[in-house]
Amino acid sequence: MGALTDEHPGDHLPAAGDPGPALHRMLLGARLRRLRETSGLTPLQAGAAIQVGAAEIAELERGGTGCRLREVIGLCDRYGVTDQAERVTLLQLARQANSPGWWAAYADVIPSWFERLVGLEQAAGCVRGFEVQRVPGLLQTPEYAAAAIRLGHGGEPARSLERRLEVRLLRQRVLRQRPPLRLWAIIDESVLRRPIGGRATLFRQLQHLIDMSELPNVTVQVLPFRAAGPAAGGPIVLLDMRQGQLGDIVFLEQLASARYVDGADEVSFYRQALDLLAVRAAPPEASRTILRDLARDL
């Protein structure tokens, strides 16, 4: 197991930061939805043109799946798209939407429900989150990440654990790409007292959080025990897709699956919850003081 903690496996792998298919799928879906609505067709009517159901059209328009080129052509014909530049743009987006991201090489250790989050992180402009159990994956040290992975997947072979760690560390490169991802993490104090991997590992993790919080694109806030937060019920991740034509997406992880929320009303609800948590949490500088105090007391 030493390979999990002695070095940073991501240092020897291809650089992350390519948005991969996630952003292109969302852009393609948004364009196709607007074209369908402009044509006055229902998802069921649109699906009939390419022999798929309304549910498949809805998933395509949400950006949850790619689309074959002949299906794009069929939809363009059904929607009455005669502008050749628009058709070429849609076909190009479809090609890019079907191109695998770097994480496709890790399909053996990334469940399909989590793969979408990895792609969205690569394409997002800002990620806001609230964590109640563990330090957010994008801010974990290799040692802490290895310990957390063993807790959840301890029965797997050592090589599978190493590959899971490689994925987690590669995901973190979005914080140092150009332009970097903007990360705003609110962490419950209980997370920072839970000695995952032992006291020494937690100490180094707290120091890492302090260092990361000083980056211009990273904000870390601690929600102290004394602060009453909203009944969030679990971790929340809000992804700002930085494209005017795309809406934000909320990721809600569960024990063995996840839910992606993209409805405007639900997204607004979770955004307001994060806003309230940010107000009740300690400000960034005070949060660094809390982190230093917690590290000193270990």
Band (119; pLDDT cuts 50, 70, 90): confident
CATH superfamily of 20-97: lambda repressor-like DNA-binding domains (1.10.260.40)
User: Residue 243: what pLDDT?
Assistant: 58
Does an H or E element contain 162, and which?
helix 158-171
Three-class secondary structure of residue 235 per DSSP: coil
Continuous segment of H or E residues that includes residue 236: strand 236-240
Q: What is the number of H-type helices and E-type strands within the chain?
A: 12, 6
Query: What residue ranges do the domains of the chain occupy?
Result: 20-97, 110-297
User: Is 18's pLDDT higher than 80?
Assistant: no
Q: Which residues contact 269 (CB under 8 A, 6 or more apart)?
A: none
Q: What pLDDT score does 229 carry?
A: 61
DSSP annotation of 14:
-
Question: Within its chain, how far is the Cα of 30 from the centroid?
Answer: 19
Across the range 113-135, mean pLDDT stands at 91
Pairing of the two strands 182-188 and 126-131: parallel
For every residue of 48-69, DSSP letters joined together read: HHHT--HHHHHHHHHTSS---H
Above 90 in pLDDT, residue 227? no
Q: What is the mean pLDDT of residues 177-194?
A: 95
**Tokens of residue 66, six digits:** 């790619």
Domain 110-297: state its class: alpha beta
Q: How confident is the model at residue 16 (pLDDT cuts 50, 70, 90)?
A: very low
